[in-house]
A and B are shown apart, each in its own frame.
Chain A
Amino acid sequence: MSLFPNMAVGPTVRAVHDEFHGDLLEVSMGPQHPSTHGVFRMVVTLDGEQIVKLKPVFGYLHRNHEKIAESTSYLGSMPYTDRLDYLCSMSTNWAYALAVEKLSGQAVPDRAQYLRIVMAELTRLVNHSCLVGFLFNDLGTSFTPLLYAFREREKILDLFESLSGSRMMCNYQRFGGCRVDPSPEWLAAAQALVDNFPRFLDEYETMLTGNEIMLARTQGVGRLDPAHAVNAGLTGPVLRACGVDYDLRKVDGYGFYPRFDFRVPLGAHGDTYDRYMMRILEMRESVKILQQAFRDLPAGPVMDPKAKLRGFRPKAGEAYGRLEGPKGELGFYLISDGSPNPWRYRVRPPSLINLTLLEEMCLGHTVADAVVILGSIDIVLGEVDR
């Protein structure tokens, strides 16, 4: 605490005198605050109710993921990646597996490629539906949309659990494939879930999309300009809501995504409402991808027989593997010196980089809007602080 006396969590409200603006008020929101999605802190300077300055403070969940990974074997880091973005363990696993496969030149069988897409898109459904629930919590609905979202989440988590043994921390991907092959019953259950998912989306949208309060609170709030967003390195639905067509599933075409027919929804205004709609539309596209994956899923092994998991030592070199996670570009950068542990292990967390423009989005709005804007960016503190 003594390092930053101004940031001490003492009295949370104190007046700042400024000769041009009169009295400003500095409010510290967080790290214990119901709307900060974890242990995030915003130091907000207010002129009346308008935000004139916002300073994000993070690091309250810095649990040394990268440093621990440098003293762990490559495979040993896989369970840690589950806990990085704890809402979407399957896609985080895949991003790490991609990086290691790039490093070692490991091939992946076709069936595993399809299964990875199935898991990643199911994860996207979980993440986006929960995010919309949390966003509405921030808007003041007090839990109701979240109950609907968690109802669907539980169904998907049941599938994950029956496949991998764990609800949230699936630890499912491996270098060179997937850990277990789903049974035909599992696939039938997943197919049924996906077929029913649009009904949930329709229900959700009937309830939320045209809601008058929702429109008044989100349209034109937290507007972001596309050039600014690109310069700051924003990715994911937050960037696409500004109208920038950048989706790694199309740009990189990693995995078997080029074989799938889907569209990338784009926003026009870059405001909170567009960011909300991005999530709804992406879920509809995910359903399409999933249905194609179930239709085309080939038979065969789920692990490359030549893949080596224990005593895995890639050659010296470096690799950057990235994918379009539900929150944006999620990348792992690895440097190997030929030993069983990575020499350097670096995560590119989309949540953290999307947070960099929080102040720009919030300036001129009220505190209540800042809460909603933060909710629409979709952060997970495990990933922000690592």
Chain B
Amino acid sequence: MSEPNPTSAAGLPSEALAKEGNISAAEREDLRRHGILLTSLEELYGWGRSNSIWPLQFGLACCAIEMIAAATARFDIARFGAEIFRPSPRQADLMIVSGTVTKKMAPQVVRLWNQMPEPKYCIAMGACAISGGPFKQGYNVLKGIDRFIPVDIYIPGCPPRPEALLHGLTQLQEKIRSEKISGPQAARHLQPDAASEFPVPDYGAHDLQPPSNPDIFTAPVLPRKA
């Protein structure tokens, strides 16, 4: 019997299984050499989800061009199973907030997030989506999308290179693979009480109302030296 490919399904991180005490990683590796694949439902679930992330086809500004570049031949996001950009939020798993979120656009971004079904993830791509970036002083610029929706991965850069987006994507895959399917540490979409929708801010006369969602965002306090 030929040796199975070391990067096959069973080659995924096995710490979770090893920690249970049933079988060690070395034993599992030994079994795999004999063509016996061992896995847990949790691992299989995470493996499947992490390799078929469908992003929302949603570009805001400059970073969107790099997002498109990441989907083209040279960088080829399809290698990570995330090439199926869906224009409809109903079919998407991942929202890449690629660019400056203005106050006029913020309610739409939150609404799109609410329309995405669970499990869903959010990547803040670029300085603007993280904090407002170079346009932070602008009167119409939201100072970070994490004021309204929970962000899983932050990718710095202005704009980040496509490689940086791919790195962010692999980090997200790691995160998805490490999620539990039961217990108090279970993934957010498996917890009945966890919020999936967030209030859409109102585009008020002077600012967004409310200016941030206090449930998920607290302004950082910077200690100053006396």
Contacts and interface: CB of A to CB of B under 8 A. Distances in A.
Interface of A: 1-3, 9, 31-34, 38-39, 59-65, 67-68, 71, 79-80, 83, 86-87, 143, 146-147, 150-151, 153-154, 167-169, 381-382
A151 B74 contact: yes
A189 B140 CA distance: 42
18 contacts: A3-B205, A9-B111, A38-B59, A59-B102, A61-B99, A61-B100, A63-B102, A63-B140, A64-B141, A65-B135, A67-B138, A67-B139, A87-B65, A150-B73, A150-B74, A151-B73, A382-B61, A382-B62
B94 to A, nearest CB: 15
B60 A39 contact: yes
Nearest to A89: B62
A147 B68 CA distance: 10
B35 to A, nearest CB: 39
Give the interface size class of chain B: 35 or more
Contacts of A147: 72-73
Contacts of A154: 69, 72, 74
A151 B69 CA distance: 9
A275 to B, nearest CB: 21
Nearest to B205: A3
Interface in B29-48: none
A125 to B, nearest CB: 16
A24 B72 CA distance: 40
Contacts of B102: 59-63
A215 B61 CA distance: 31
Nearest to A146: B72
A33 B60 contact: no
B104 interface: yes
B54 interface: no
Contacts of A65: 135
Interface-central residue, B61, B107, B108, by most chain A CB under 10 Å: B61
Interface of B: 57-62, 64-66, 68-69, 71-74, 87, 89, 99-100, 102, 104-105, 107-108, 111-112, 128, 134-135, 137-141, 158-159, 161, 202-205
A41 B185 CA distance: 42
Nearest to B111: A9
A279 to B, nearest CB: 18
Contacts of B203: 1-3
Given A59-B104, A150-B72, A168-B159, A64 B134 contact: no
Given A86-B61, A382-B62, A150 B68 contact: yes
Given A1-B202, A59-B104, A168-B65, A80 B161 contact: no
Contacts of A60: 102, 104-105, 108
Contacts of B71: 143
A38 B204 CA distance: 23
Contacts of B58: 32
A33 B135 CA distance: 24
Nearest to B103: A62
A6 to B, nearest CB: 14
Contacts of A62: 102, 104, 140
A362 B174 CA distance: 47
Given A32-B58, A39-B60, A61 B72 contact: no
Contacts of B202: 1-2
Contacts of B107: 1, 9
A147 B71 CA distance: 9
Contacts of B68: 146, 150
A154 B68 CA distance: 12
Contacts of B57: 34
B73 A86 contact: no
Contacts of B139: 64, 67
